[in-house]
Amino acid sequence: MARDRRPLYVQIAEKIRIDYAKTLGNGLARLPSEVAMADQYQVSRTTVREALRLLEREGIVRSRHGIGTFISSNADSLLYTFDVLTGLSNILRASGGTADTKLIKISEIPLTEEMRQQFRWPGEVAVELERIRLLNDVPVAYSIDLAPLAYLGGPIDRDQLSQSFFEALQKTGHNPHHTESRLKAIVTPASIAKYMPRCKGRPIVLSHEMVYDINDDVIAVSKDYLDTEQISLIVRRRAIS
């Protein structure tokens, strides 16, 4: 498995969510002290503090000065945040439920002239991956990912791709650095409702994402059709300083 290149505090935040998920929905459950968690995860208190700040921004925990940090009572929904770069697979795993991915199709398609001009992708072939994302056996998202075969190392590793598209890119040294996401509310297309029957006839959110490396080159394009009855979307906005 590829090395996790996310900041350490992001990794610890995910572990905290997983380890204490059993308390979700049971009111406000108090977390151990920063010292205890630093010892538990073998990191510094500063890293734990940064992880808790991230979880607080996401609405997962609440801090009470002089009392402690607690799991929020409304943290039982799956949160999709747009201020931290992480794959949907990691978000599902961190939810505390049983996450699974069902591979629908992997296709090799010719790179079009439009792709070459817009993304400056090398080679002749792109790989398109279609997956259903499930949480506790319930479909919560339909994902379509596209990247040049040259960035995935070829030949295609179906198992690696089906579990984590980001990790497959990282394995060949193409590390996602930042993304640009466009969100749009749409009526669930029939082709998607086929795999997400609970969404048939009602709105869902389409997240169209361009994935960039550190040099601002597009290394992948993703579309996630998100069931917003199962997933809460969080967009963080900052004041202009």
Instruction: Among 172-176, 188-192, 195-199, name the one with the lowest average pLDDT.
Output: 172-176
Domains defined along the chain, listed by start: 8-71 (1.10.10.10), 78-234 (3.40.1410.10)
Residue-wise pLDDT for 80-96, tens only, equals 555 555 567 666 666 65
Q: Say whether pLDDT at 74 is over 60.
A: no
What's the mean pLDDT in 107-116? 91
What integer best gives the mean pLDDT of the chain? 81
What's the mean pLDDT in 59-81? 68
Specify the pTM: 0.67
Q: What is the DSSP string of the chain?
A: -----S-HHHHHHHHHHHHTGGGTTSS-EEPPPHHHHHHHHTS-HHHHHHHHHHHHHTTSEEEETTTEEEE-TTTTSEEEESSS---HHHHHHTTSS-EEEEEEEEEEEEPPHHHHHHH---SSEEEEEEEEEEETTEEEEEEEEEEEGGGS-SS--HHHHHH-HHHHHHHTT----EEEEEEEEEEPPHHHHTT-GGGTTSEEEEEEEEEE-TTS-EEEEEEEEE-TTTEEEE-------
